[in-house]
Amino acid sequence: MPTLIVVAVLVIGFVFFSQVYADILWYSQLGFLEVFLKENGTRIAIFLVAFVIMSVSVYLSLRIAYRSRPVYAPDSSLQENLNRYQAQLEPVRKLLMIGIPVVLGGFAGTAAASAWKTVLLFFNQEPFGTADPQFGLDYSFYLNTLPFIGFINGFLVSVVLIAGIAGLLTHYLYGGIRLEEKGLFASTAARIHIAVFAALFLVLQGINYWLDRYSTLQSTSGKWAGALYTDVNAVIPTKAILAVAAIIVAILFIVAAVMGRWRLPLVGTAMLVITAILAGGVYPWVVQRFQVTPSELSLEREYIERNIALTRQAYGLTNTEVTPYNATVTAEAGALRSDAETTANIRLLDPNLVSDAFGQLEQFRQYYQFAPTLNVDRYNVDGDVQDTVIAVRELNTAGVPSGWVNEHVLFTHGYGVVAAAGSRVQADGKPSFMLSGIPSKGVLGNDKSYEPRIYFGEFSPDYSIVGAPEGADPVEIDRPQSENSDTEARNTFTGNGGPNVGNWFNRLVYALKFQSTDLMLSDAVNRESQILYDRNPRERVEKLAPYLTIDGNAYPAIIDGRVKWIVDGYTTSQHFPYSTPQQLASATADSLTAGGRTVALPPQEVNYIRNAVKATVDAYDGSVTLYAWDDQDPLLKAWQKVFPTTLKPYREMSADLMAHVRYPEDLFKVQRELLGRYHVTSVDRFYSNSDAWSVPTDPTLGAKTTVKQPPYYLSLKMPGQDSASFSLTTPFIPFTADGEEPRNVLYGFLSAEADAGTGKDGVKSPDYGKLRLLELPRSVTVPGPGQAQNLFNSDTTVSQALNLLRQGASEVINGNLLSLPVGGGMLYVQPVYVQSSGASSYPTLRRVLVSFGEKVGFAPTLSEALDQVFQGNSGATTGDEGNVGQTPETPPQEVTAQEKLQAALQAARAAIEEGNAALGKGDFAAYGTAQQKLQKALQDAINAESEITGAAPSTGGSTPSPTPTPTSGG
């Protein structure tokens, strides 16, 4: 048995060691060993300190209680039971006296070690240089110092309580505390024991009360975040009184332990409890109910101002440029002539829909795949910057023949970048590729201008074995010899992408890590072999920078001849004073995260966020570079002090990399969520919530959806801008409470300048990240995205054309609905795709829907659709002008009278529903518009019926329409 135990311990120890050693090899290969050592060294140090404090405290409490036990205890039935327990425990008493403190110390150390970030931030903190408006303390006190002191105090409270309870149980077990006929008896030693631990607990509680004064600035219990009138004038003073009272009562317990007089500390404890209830709960409630509530605005004005200012500061909203936009709803001829830069880059290719098209046209083998949602970037082609939909051809392990050698040795990587123009398609509706094929070719380059092999990506296998001695025959399946070839080219990985597994020890370590005997025994592993794992770019950066929250979307770009994944990292905190918190998972949720197309952020609550780091992951060798993007962020400065060798200044970024850095989506989604309320800086308007906005739901998912519309990358020139820029955009509609029907008119439009490039190495565009907010007038009803979608759906001409496109069981798919502030108003553009019912079908762009005000255009090209809306000549320059008259469609067929009648009746039904909804809201302008649509639809129905029956069509008079019936009351 001892031999088996020793062997088991050795095996378990070696397995644990192998995991640690594998991590050391991985971090060392990437040059980030410092991260592993400091993180785990800090965890171990905190664990040991917490372990020693807890275990020693519990041991001393047990030891003192045992040594001070009564020698003779009175006989009683209860004592007889205790004597039996003592007799049973005596053989293992010494073991328990050591084992219990060790176990409790282990639990305490493990719990405390998770606070390693809090500890490191405290010892390496950087000042913000700005003081809070209540106590005049630097913000770093709230983000770094206060959490650390709170952690230490909370841990010590746990130590005192656990050690104290352990001592009391020991006193009870050995007769130091017992129940008698006269009541509870406690020996002198037990009383002193109780007094000491009670005093320690009260001292720590007093510290808690004092810290609570500062924590009120992070409170979310009121209507607004931060310390409000009641907190400042009632809670903060009473917390100070309670802190002093707790210290006084603690002193009384010490005095009682020395003098043996217990009445004063007991009375003091009772008074402290009563004071805590009255002063800590009742008094603030009275102040709030009878002083604040009747005069809330005047008393809370100062604190609402603080909340507005510091929330905007914490989320980077302070410098938002707000511009009134007197949008028109009248489409005039030539209105888009001044917006040529914007209209030329209107993106018709929907990255959420064309993955299947990329797959059918560019996959070539079953072991390749494309991401379900592609990415939008921009590339310079012949001096013009063009929006581009881009993807990499990744390895599909589901298409690899089963077997360890196939899955981990032969099929190791994807191949090539595929990119298509965003603003145009081919004449048959297929993507217009700018880089495609095997070997790669196109205006963006070829296999010689960049390294096309994708060893590290979002769908890479868990691990691959690559590399071979010089001169050895290549074994890795590289790619098809050509697009139509049945044979495969072979390749050998030549980079430094993972730890070496050429020796038997490393092979054993990784065989244990991946639980694979094949890795240990296979002859496919040679002396030069490397093992590639942890290959997802987001997870790779997350592991190397554990202090960051990683954006949900990593995107590829061709940079300096390499394919690199660009990953955004955020420093966050939930301790910024007066800032309104947001839950990341909720704030960043939209139709893409709901459909699993992008990674959702964790349900972490934050009230401070900065895009502090831009990271790149090389798709060939997996090398990671972290750039300190927001080098003025105090939290990032603190982490730079912790890990000084891991972060490079952004000034070392190449011009090519700068040109592909973009404003991150998740940060933008958090900011737009806050701007729904915090675009208002007037206290009176903010208090009344009279101008709150909401992010509209995604109109392409149907009228009943509650999922938000995602933001979109577009190249556009905002009103007031000198030239177009690559931007991230979102519209706003009036605030909609849960369960209410949204009023889908446009109130605001937000864009973030997403282009950081200047054409120079290490020089960031001064306008990068600038938020521009357009506020639309309330006097003009500008349709929101939902209304625009309803216009498309209810238009009779559109319905008839779509019915034709649906012939032959084809499916019509609406693409993303883009909003653009052009022509003095708001233009909506939606590509329309058609997909046949075949097994290998994919969506092709067949039509473009356009609306401006109440006008709708529907044509094979954007250019034609715009001309339909803007009186025959929009004045726009579009990317698909060359396709005019060439886009194939379903051969024109005679629309039967019966089909006309059905379409008219559908349009009438839609108009009635629209009118009822408008009437229910009291919107008589919208009701009148709906009645006009109803009259037209009924007239079309009468004409169609006349055509069916052969009667003369009706031409005179207008069709009567119902009038709203006044309701009773005011």
- Confidence grade of residue 742 (pLDDT, cut at 50, 70, 90): confident
- Confidence grade of residue 928 (pLDDT, cut at 50, 70, 90): confident
Neighbours of 357 (CB within 10 A): 24
Lowest mean pLDDT among 107-121, 141-155, 326-340, 919-933: 919-933
Residue 951 has pLDDT above 70, yes or no: no
Backbone angles phi, psi at 432, to 5 degrees: -95, 95
More confident residue, 802 or 533: 533
Spacing of C-alpha 781 from chain mean position = 33
> What pLDDT digit, counting tens, does each position of 574-620 carry?
999 999 999 999 999 999 998 888 899 999 999 999 999 999 999 99
> What pLDDT digit, counting tens, does each position of 277-335 carry?
988 889 999 999 999 999 999 999 999 999 999 999 999 999 999 999 999 999 999 99
Mean pLDDT confidence for 163-191: 81
The structure tokens listed for 504 are 């038997």
% of the chain residues with pLDDT over 90: 69
Q: What is the pLDDT at residue 803?
A: 79
Highest-scoring range by mean pLDDT, 145-149, 384-388, 786-790, 896-900: 145-149
> What pLDDT digit, counting tens, does each position of 35-86 carry?
999 999 999 999 999 999 999 999 999 999 888 887 655 555 556 666 676 6
Lowest mean pLDDT among 118-132, 551-565, 737-751: 737-751
Cα torsion for 435, 356, 695, 315, to the nearest 10°?
A: -50
Nearest Cα residue to 359 out of 406, 394, 386: 394
Q: For the chain, what is the radius of gyration of the CA atoms?
A: 35
Can you state the percent helix, strand and coil of the chain, rounding each to 5?
A: 45, 20, 35
- Confidence grade of residue 836 (pLDDT, cut at 50, 70, 90): confident
- Confidence grade of residue 497 (pLDDT, cut at 50, 70, 90): very high
Looking at residue 669, its amino acid is: K
**For the chain, what is the mean pLDDT?**
89
The structure tokens listed for 697 are 């739901």
Backbone angles phi, psi at 168, to 5 degrees: -65, -40
CA-to-CA dists, residue 275 to 239, 246, 272, 282, angstroms: 10, 10, 5, 10
Cα torsion for 430, 436, 442, 445, to the nearest 10°?
A: 150
Lowest mean pLDDT among 73-87, 413-427, 809-823, 925-939: 73-87
d(C-alpha 586, C-alpha 604), whole Å: 9
d(C-alpha 208, C-alpha 818), whole Å: 52
d(C-alpha 218, C-alpha 204), whole Å: 21
Residue 250 has pLDDT above 70, yes or no: yes
Q: What is the pLDDT at residue 891?
A: 40
Q: What is the pLDDT at residue 848?
A: 94
| DSSP 3-state of 532 | strand
Residue 479 has pLDDT above 50, yes or no: yes
d(C-alpha 663, C-alpha 171), whole Å: 64
Sign of CA dihedral 211, 214, 215, 221: positive
897-921 and 924-949 helices, crossing angle to 10°: 160
Q: What is the pLDDT at residue 882?
A: 64
The secondary structure element, H or E, covering residue 666 is helix 665-678
- Confidence grade of residue 961 (pLDDT, cut at 50, 70, 90): very low
| DSSP 3-state of 957 | coil
Mean pLDDT confidence for 326-346: 91
Lowest mean pLDDT among 116-125, 284-293, 838-847: 838-847
Mean pLDDT confidence for 329-351: 92
| DSSP 3-state of 498 | coil
For 441-518, strand residue ranges (E) read: 453-454, 463-466, 476-480, 488-491
Mean pLDDT confidence for 333-357: 92
Nearest Cα residue to 199 out of 239, 274, 258: 258
d(C-alpha 565, C-alpha 562), whole Å: 10
The structure tokens listed for 963 are 């009038």
- Is residue 675 within 8 Å of 320, Cβ to Cβ? yes
- Is residue 451 within 8 Å of 392, Cβ to Cβ? no
Q: What is the pLDDT at residue 892?
A: 39
DSSP state at residue 893: -
The structure tokens listed for 533 are 């794992």
More confident residue, 288 or 927: 288
Q: What is the pLDDT at residue 893?
A: 42
Residue 553 has pLDDT above 60, yes or no: yes
More confident residue, 85 or 173: 173
Mean pLDDT confidence for 516-523: 92
- Confidence grade of residue 911 (pLDDT, cut at 50, 70, 90): confident
The structure tokens listed for 165 are 């309870």
> What pLDDT digit, counting tens, does each position of 198-215 carry?
999 999 999 999 999 999
Q: What is the pLDDT at residue 91?
A: 79
Residue 894 has pLDDT above 50, yes or no: no
What's the chain's length in residues?
970
Sign of CA dihedral 465, 466, 467, 473: positive
Mean pLDDT confidence for 433-448: 93
Q: What is the pLDDT at residue 590?
A: 93
